[in-house]
């Protein structure tokens, strides 16, 4: 690390860099200080943006790239292999960078600390962008090292193929980083500061749809192979960025069929102009704009509807006013907490897409009509199970943990009503309301009997999932600063949950051969859900108690002098 | 006298709400001026605009001749600002935080170290300098923020409720320090809603009420004009707050509902 820092400092002292910085209005001393600051904050996990610990993330992506490298055994043409590996690289980076850039540039909480210091917006943005680009470089290397070396196995590759592959991948990575950051700039240009944070969520949602395009890309690539040589039409014209980088990776090898340098050049120019315009938004007044948006929210005044009879019922169900209070607090924060929303929205979108698409196509057959084979309906409880994993994992964290002080002064003797209130605030949107909608649509599709029985089964199963996931709640709702390890844990839990979900869906298919069996198991599941919830609420209660102690008396952390 | 802060026809809007309407005032070198107003009157917004954090909606703002927001960078170099909410990087230690601020302000390394240690010692948090700011109490964070504002020896100090959370002895030290700084020729704008403190420390007062500047005068003159004894009474008359007795009765009633 010391050698990296001294190399970086030497580079910053070169005449060319100093000249460039002067032209761009960047103060090199402050730039260096800010880079050090972002690195320190990242290592101490103050940034939400970097999410995973960098080393862990690099390891994870390297393991993923080993799998992708197996594509060489399919004996694909070189350009198809490059298209798959670089396309995958670009889409994955797009997902990562969108998250990181929106955290760094559209919600820079640190701007409130730095806004009154004499720092030019251009210096601050340059340091921010460098921080993002360093992450991108690390990810690109991890994602491409194995595919670049494995590419030598393909026929027609020369000894220097790994270098041309890596060069194309790095340029593609840089392109993605520039593209996403300039997109943030465009948001700055056209969206009012008060609405920027919401706009960032939408940008991330759109990015989440990117894998859909990945599937299309792979399909096209396979078609391309089948058509043996007819390539250009299937993967878009030379205006498309991924073709530029594939063409670069092919340098010194075979020529990319039907690649037009003129079209690619024009595409590059247009993109460059669009990016430059986006970056202009970050000039000079960026810190002022950023500090305005940190205080902003889409709606500054909100009148809540008065559901007093529901509140009364919730109060009775949870065992007191404190339960009602916890329920309304958590329900409101589930809708309004920026951090929670941006974590859960992509999953909600995925669940909706998996349900709405088949419904529109009329592909959802009743699970009781076995002649129609495996019905997509079996996946519904699992989809809501995923939501419960994410919601329970995220519910304790917020971008504004200072609000947790409200819990410290509470004279709460029993925490059980509080735990029940939080449980209900999750149960209603994840289990209750969706199943009400499903009941209506399933009745319309399959008739009352099938719909009622299926909804009873699904409701019981999802309730059981939620009861189990209560163990993921790690403290009072929306009371703790976001922990990086939550996302790293999710990266392990979600793949396991996908496998388990597939097994359970298969078992459901077997179960649904007999109506009596379905009814019996639904009763069993609902009882199990009740008992599990009862037991796990006790654990939630003790998590709340631990959290209260921690909030009242935070641990002392003493660090040695760095110099 | 040299004008250090000039504000003319300042207006500001947050979303759809008008926060400041047509505010004009002028501060000179060596003046210590109190900025008074109820919660939400617009004091913090005024200070944020003077600091260059927020852009003025309309009007002219000049700091030592530097026009805002065009010359915000130059203005920020000569301002020391203690914000109302103690926002800090919680994962940095007090020393790291202050070193960062000092280096951003280009203070020479040896001088910076000496300044930090001396000020932390004066504010009695020298021993905690290696502790993360996340573990600091409100008052300790305030001490760090005050130290950060004083590090570069700024000619203009903008203080937003600087005594919040401070212990008695530190408050006394800080108040005396402000007097000394004012005598040295520094301009100090001291925002607070605690009238007693402003009355004791400042000889001139600006009162903002619902976004408008309703008074700008010396304490004595304000007292004479409003036939009031204390600043509290002057404030009450100017803001037409009236007697607090009926409000107190209503509050008591509400508590016993």
CA distances from A11 to A6, A15, A134, A141, A173 (A): 8, 9, 15, 21, 22
Strands ordered across the beta sheet of B17-28 = B17-28, B3-14, B58-63, B66-68
Q: Contact, A213 vs A179, CB < 8 A?
A: no
Residues of A in Cβ contact (< 8 Å) with B89: 37, 41, 46, 110, 113
List b or e across B109-142, with b for residues whose CB sees 16 or more CB atoms inside 10 angstroms.
Answer: eeebbebbeebbebbebeebbebbbbbbeebbbb
Rounded Cα distance, B59 and B76, in Å: 19
Of A518, A499, A492, A497, the closest CA to residue A377 belongs to A518
Mapped to the 3 state alphabet, what secondary structure does A499-515 carry? HHHHHHHHHHHHHCCCH
Q: Contact, A259 vs A170, CB < 8 A?
A: no
Residue A232 pLDDT greater than 50, yes or no: no
Token pair, residue A391, equals: 């919601």
In this complex, the residue of A110, A112, A118 whose CB is nearest that of residue B105 is: A118
Percentage of chain A lying above the pLDDT 90 cut: 11
Q: Are residues B203 and B230 in the same domain?
A: yes
The C-alpha of B103 sits at a distance from chain A's nearest C-alpha, in angstroms, of 8
Determine the 3-state secondary structure of A82 from DSSP: helix
Lowest-pLDDT range of A47-56, A97-106, B72-81, B137-146: A47-56
Residue B25 banded pLDDT, cuts 50, 70, 90: very high
Q: Sign (positive/negative) of CA torsion A273, A180, A50, A193?
A: positive
| Boundary residue ending a domain (B103, B123, B153) | B153
A119 CA to centre of own chain: 31
| Closest residue, chain B, to A556 (C-alpha) | B135
Apex CA A166: angle with CA A161 and CA A168, to 5°? 95
Indicate the length of chain B as a whole number: 257
B234 CA to centre of own chain: 21
Q: How many angstroms separate the first and last alpha carbons of chain B?
A: 58
pLDDT for A82-122, tens place per residue?
A: 888 888 788 777 777 776 776 667 666 666 678 788 888 78
φ, ψ for residue B204, nearest 5 deg = -130, 145
Q: Are residues B161 and B136 in the same domain?
A: no
Lowest-pLDDT range of A64-78, A294-308, A445-459: A294-308
Q: Are residues B67 and B120 in the same domain?
A: no
Is any Cβ of chain B less than 8 angstroms from the Cβ of A27? no
Apex CA A399: angle with CA A393 and CA A401, to 5°? 90
User: Which pLDDT value is given to residue A228?
Assistant: 44
Residue A306 pLDDT greater than 60, yes or no: no
Q: Contact, A529 vs A460, CB < 8 A?
A: yes
Q: Is the Cβ pair A292, B79 closer than 8 Å?
A: no
Which residues 6+ apart lie within 8 Å of A198 measured at CB? Answer: A298
Q: Is the Cβ pair B73, A555 closer than 8 Å?
A: no
Q: Sign (positive/negative) of CA torsion A347, A353, A358, A359?
A: positive
Strand partners, A481: A398
Rounded Cα distance, B232 and B41, in Å: 16
Indicate the helix (H) or strand (E) that contains B191. strand B187-192
The chain-wide mean pLDDT, for chain A, equals: 77
Of A357, A282, A313, A253, the closest CA to residue A119 belongs to A282
Token pair, residue A178, equals: 């520039």
Choose from A9, A47, A118 for mutation: most chain B CBs within 10 A.
A118
Mean pLDDT of A458-478: 92
Q: Is the Cβ pair A557, B135 closer than 8 Å?
A: yes
Q: Contact, A69 vs A161, CB < 8 A?
A: no
Which residues 6+ apart lie within 8 Å of A473 measured at CB? Answer: A392, A395, A396, A422, A540, A543
User: Which pLDDT value is given to residue A455?
Assistant: 93
Mean pLDDT of A63-70: 82
Query: At CB < 8 Å, which residues of chain B contact A?
Result: 14-17, 51-55, 69, 72-74, 76-77, 79, 81, 83, 85, 87-93, 95-96, 100-101, 103-106, 130-132, 134-135
Residues of A in Cβ contact (< 8 Å) with B83: 112, 116
Residue A294 pLDDT greater than 60, yes or no: no
More confident of the two residues A142 and A195: A142
User: Which pLDDT value is given to residue A1?
Assistant: 58
Q: Is the Cβ pair B135, A29 closer than 8 Å?
A: no
| Boundary residue ending a domain (B153, B188, B203) | B153
B26 CA to centre of own chain: 16
Residue A391 banded pLDDT, cuts 50, 70, 90: very high
Q: How many angstroms separate the first and last alpha carbons of chain A?
A: 15
Residue A302 banded pLDDT, cuts 50, 70, 90: low
Rounded Cα distance, A196 and A13, in Å: 36
Token pair, residue A472, equals: 């993921």
Q: Strands A480-481 and B79-82, how do they pair?
A: unpaired
Residues of A in Cβ contact (< 8 Å) with B14: 295, 300
Separate counts of helices (H) and strands (E) for chain A: 23, 2
Q: Are residues B176 and B74 in the same domain?
A: yes
Rounded Cα distance, B89 and A96, in Å: 24
B2 CA to centre of own chain: 21
Residue A193 pLDDT greater than 80, yes or no: no
Q: Is the Cβ pair A194, B89 closer than 8 Å?
A: no
In this complex, the residue of B16, B83, B130 whose CB is nearest that of residue A559 is: B130
Q: Are residues B72 and B182 in the same domain?
A: yes
Q: Is the Cβ pair A194, B131 closer than 8 Å?
A: no
DSSP line for A194-243: HHHHHHHHHHHHHHHTHHHHHHHHHHHHHHHHHTTT--TTTT--TTSHHH
User: Which pLDDT value is given to residue A132?
Assistant: 78
In this complex, the residue of A41, A45, A291 whose CB is nearest that of residue B53 is: A291
Q: How many CB atoms lie within 10 A of CB A478?
A: 27
Residue A2 pLDDT greater than 70, yes or no: no
The C-alpha of A292 sits at a distance from chain B's nearest C-alpha, in angstroms, of 7
Q: Are residues B192 and B251 in the same domain?
A: yes
Residue A287 banded pLDDT, cuts 50, 70, 90: low
DSSP line for B59-125: EEEEETTEEETTTHHHHHHTEEEE-SS----TTSBHHHHHHHHHHHTT--HHHHHHHHHHHHHHTT-
Q: Are residues B177 and B243 in the same domain?
A: yes
Rounded Cα distance, A449 and A467, in Å: 27
Q: Contact, A364 vs A458, CB < 8 A?
A: no
Residues of A in Cβ contact (< 8 Å) with B106: 29
Q: Are residues B46 and B167 in the same domain?
A: yes
Residues of B in Cβ contact (< 8 Å) with A561: 95, 130
Q: Contact, A425 vs A340, CB < 8 A?
A: no
pLDDT for B34-61, tens place per residue?
A: 998 888 888 888 998 898 888 888 899 9
Q: Give, to the nearest 10 degrees, the angle between helix B109-122 and helix B138-150.
A: 140
| Closest residue, chain B, to A32 (C-alpha) | B104
User: Which pLDDT value is given to residue A21?
Assistant: 84
Task: ipTM value, please give it.
Answer: 0.76
Lowest-pLDDT range of A297-311, B16-30, B44-58: A297-311
The chain-wide mean pLDDT, for chain B, equals: 85
Q: Contact, A56 vs A488, CB < 8 A?
A: yes
A487 CA to centre of own chain: 9
Residue A187 pLDDT greater than 80, yes or no: no
Lowest-pLDDT range of A152-161, A430-439, A502-511: A152-161
Is any Cβ of chain B less than 8 angstroms from the Cβ of A553? no
| Closest residue, chain B, to A41 (C-alpha) | B91
Q: Is the Cβ pair B89, A113 closer than 8 Å?
A: yes
Residues of B in Cβ contact (< 8 Å) with A119: 73, 76, 104
Residues of B in Cβ contact (< 8 Å) with A37: 89, 100
Rounded Cα distance, A419 and A539, in Å: 9
Choose from A107, A117, A480 for mutation: most chain B CBs within 10 A.
A117
User: Which pLDDT value is given to residue A528?
Assistant: 95
CB pairs under 8 A between A and B: 95
More confident of the two residues A348 and A434: A434
Rounded Cα distance, A115 and B107, in Å: 18
Residue A35 pLDDT greater than 80, yes or no: yes
Q: Which domain holds residue B93?
A: 87-153
More confident of the two residues B224 and A389: A389
Q: Which residue has the tokens 């948090």?
A: B125
- Long-range CB pairs of B120-127 (<8 Å, 24+ gap) are B120/B94, B120/B95, B120/B147, B122/B173, B123/B147, B123/B170, B123/B173, B124/B169, B124/B170, B125/B94
Lowest-pLDDT range of A53-67, A281-295, A461-475, B160-174: A281-295
User: Which pLDDT value is given to residue B117?
Assistant: 92
Residue A51 banded pLDDT, cuts 50, 70, 90: very low
- Long-range CB pairs of B40-44 (<8 Å, 24+ gap) are B41/B208, B41/B209, B41/B210, B41/B211, B42/B12, B42/B208, B42/B210, B42/B211, B43/B160, B43/B191, B43/B193, B43/B208, B44/B84, B44/B160, B44/B191
Q: How many CB atoms lie within 10 A of CB A6?
A: 10
Indicate the helix (H) or strand (E) that contains B42. none
Find out whether the peptide bond into B24 is cis, omega within 30 degrees of 0.
no
| Boundary residue ending a domain (B153, B174, B196) | B153
Indicate the number of domains in chain B: 2
Residue B141 pLDDT greater than 80, yes or no: yes
Indicate the helix (H) or strand (E) that contains A167. helix A161-190
Strand partners, B3: B28
Token pair, residue B145, equals: 């923020």
Residue B210 banded pLDDT, cuts 50, 70, 90: confident
User: Which pLDDT value is given to residue A492?
Assistant: 72
Determine the 3-state secondary structure of A144 from DSSP: helix
pLDDT for B146-181, tens place per residue?
A: 999 999 899 999 999 888 888 888 888 998 999 999
Apex CA B238: angle with CA B194 and CA B254, to 5°? 65
Q: Are residues B68 and B189 in the same domain?
A: yes
User: Which pLDDT value is given to residue A246?
Assistant: 79
Strand partners, B190: B34, B159
Of A29, A181, A17, the closest CA to residue A101 belongs to A181
Is any Cβ of chain B less than 8 angstroms from the Cβ of A305? no
Of A89, A178, A181, the closest CA to residue A139 belongs to A89
Q: Are residues B70 and B98 in the same domain?
A: no
Rounded Cα distance, A183 and A189, in Å: 10
Q: Are residues B57 and B163 in the same domain?
A: yes
User: Which pLDDT value is given to residue A233?
Assistant: 46
Q: Is the Cβ pair A118, B73 closer than 8 Å?
A: yes
Rounded Cα distance, B222 and A62, in Å: 72
Residues of B in Cβ contact (< 8 Å) with A115: 51-53
B125 CA to centre of own chain: 22
Token pair, residue B233, equals: 């009474």
Q: Contact, B132 vs B76, CB < 8 A?
A: no
Mean pLDDT of A391-400: 86
Q: Are residues B7 and B120 in the same domain?
A: no
Q: What is the CATH number of the domain that holds B32?
A: 3.40.50.300
User: Which pLDDT value is given to residue A453?
Assistant: 93
Token pair, residue B101, equals: 């601020």
């Amino acid at each position: 690390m010391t050698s990296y820092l001294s190399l970086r400092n030497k580079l910053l002292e070169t005449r060319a860099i100093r000249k460039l910085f002067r032209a761009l209005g960047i103060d090199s001393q402050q730039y260096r200080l800010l880079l050090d600051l972002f690195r320190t904050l990242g290592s101490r996990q103050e940034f939400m943006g970097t999410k995973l610990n960098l080393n862990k993330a690099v390891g994870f992506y390297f393991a993923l790239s080993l799998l992708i490298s197996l594509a060489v055994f399919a004996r694909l043409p070189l350009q198809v292999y490059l298209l798959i590996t670089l396309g995958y690289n670009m889409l994955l980076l797009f997902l990562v960078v969108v998250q990181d850039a929106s955290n760094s540039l559209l919600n820079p909480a640190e701007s409130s600390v730095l806004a009154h210091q004499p720092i030019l917006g251009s210096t601050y943005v340059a340091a921010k962008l460098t921080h993002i680009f360093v992450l991108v470089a690390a990810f690109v290397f991890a994602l491409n090292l194995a595919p670049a070396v494995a590419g030598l196995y393909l026929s027609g590759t020369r000894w220097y193929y790994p270098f041309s592959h890596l060069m194309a991948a790095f340029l593609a990575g840089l392109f993605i980083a520039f593209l996403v950051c300039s997109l943030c700039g465009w948001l700055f240009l056209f969206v009012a500061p008060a609405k920027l944070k919401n706009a960032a969520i939408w940008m991330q949602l759109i990015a989440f749809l990117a894998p859909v395009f990945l599937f299309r890309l792979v399909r096209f690539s396979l078609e391309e192979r089948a058509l043996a040589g007819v390539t250009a039409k299937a993967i878009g014209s030379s205006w498309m960025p991924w073709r530029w980088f594939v063409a670069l990776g092919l340098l010194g090898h075979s020529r990319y069929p039907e690649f037009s340098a003129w079209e690619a050049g024009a595409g590059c120019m247009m993109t460059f102009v669009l990016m430059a315009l986006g970056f202009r938004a970050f000039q000079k007044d960026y810190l002022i704009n950023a500090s305005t948006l940190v205080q902003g929210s889409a709606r500054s005044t909100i009148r809540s509807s008065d559901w007093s009879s529901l509140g009364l019922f919730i109060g009775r169900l949870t065992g007191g006013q404190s339960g009602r209070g916890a329920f309304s607090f958590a329900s409101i924060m589930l809708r309004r907490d920026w951090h929670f929303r941006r974590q859960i929205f992509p999953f909600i979108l995925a669940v909706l897409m998996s349900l709405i698409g088949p419904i529109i196509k009329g592909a959802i057959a009743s699970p009781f009509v076995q002649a129609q084979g495996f019905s997509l309906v079996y996946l519904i409880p699992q989809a809501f199970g995923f939501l419960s994993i994410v919601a329970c994992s995220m519910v304790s964290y917020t971008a504004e943990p200072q609000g947790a002080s409200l819990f410290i002064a509470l004279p709460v003797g029993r925490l059980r009503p509080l735990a029940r209130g939080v449980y209900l605030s999750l149960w209603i949107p994840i289990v209750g309301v969706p199943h009400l909608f499903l009941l209506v649509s399933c009745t319309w599709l399959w008739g009352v009997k099938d719909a009622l029985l299926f909804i009873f089964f699904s409701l019981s199963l999802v309730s059981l999932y939620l009861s189990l996931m209560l163990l993921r709640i790690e403290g009072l709702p929306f009371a703790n600063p976001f922990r990086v390890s939550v996302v790293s844990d999710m990266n392990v839990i979600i793949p396991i949950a996908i496998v388990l979900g597939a097994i359970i869906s298969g078992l459901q298919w077997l179960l649904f051969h007999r109506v009596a069996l379905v009814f019996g198991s639904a009763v069993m599941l609902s009882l199990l859900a009740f008992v599990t919830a009862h037991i796990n609420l006790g654990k939630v209660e003790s998590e709340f108690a631990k959290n209260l102690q921690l909030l009242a008396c935070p641990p002392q952390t003493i660090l040695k002098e760095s110099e | 006298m040299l004008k250090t802060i000039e504000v003319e026809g300042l207006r500001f809007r947050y979303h759809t709400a008008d926060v400041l309407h047509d505010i004009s005032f002028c501060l000179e070198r060596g003046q210590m001026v109190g900025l008074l107003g109820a919660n939400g009157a617009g004091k913090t917004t005024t200070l944020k605009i003077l600091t260059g954090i927020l852009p003025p909606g309309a009007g002219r703002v000049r700091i030592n001749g530097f026009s805002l927001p065009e010359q915000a960078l130059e203005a920020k170099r000569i301002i020391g600002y203690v914000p109302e909410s103690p926002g800090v990087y919680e994962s940095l230690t007090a020393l790291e935080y202050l070193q960062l601020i000092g280096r951003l302000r280009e203070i020479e390394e040896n001088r910076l170290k000496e300044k930090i240690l001396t000020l932390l010692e004066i504010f009695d948090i020298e021993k905690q300098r290696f502790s993360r700011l996340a573990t600091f109490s409100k008052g300790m964070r305030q001490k760090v923020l005050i130290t950060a504002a004083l590090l570069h020896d700024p000619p203009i100090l903008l203080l937003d409720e600087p005594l919040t959370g401070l212990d008695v002895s530190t408050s006394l030290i800080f108040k005396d320090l402000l007097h000394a700084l004012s005598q040295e020729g520094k301009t100090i704008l001291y925002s607070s809603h605690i009238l007693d403190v402003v009355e004791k420390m400042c000889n001139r007062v600006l009162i903002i009420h619902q976004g408008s500047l309703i008074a700008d005068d010396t304490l004595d003159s304000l007292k004479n004009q409003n036939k009031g004894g204390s600043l509290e009474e002057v404030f009450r008359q100017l803001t037409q707050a009236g007697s607090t007795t009926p409000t107190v009765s209503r509050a008591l009633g509400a508590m016993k509902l």
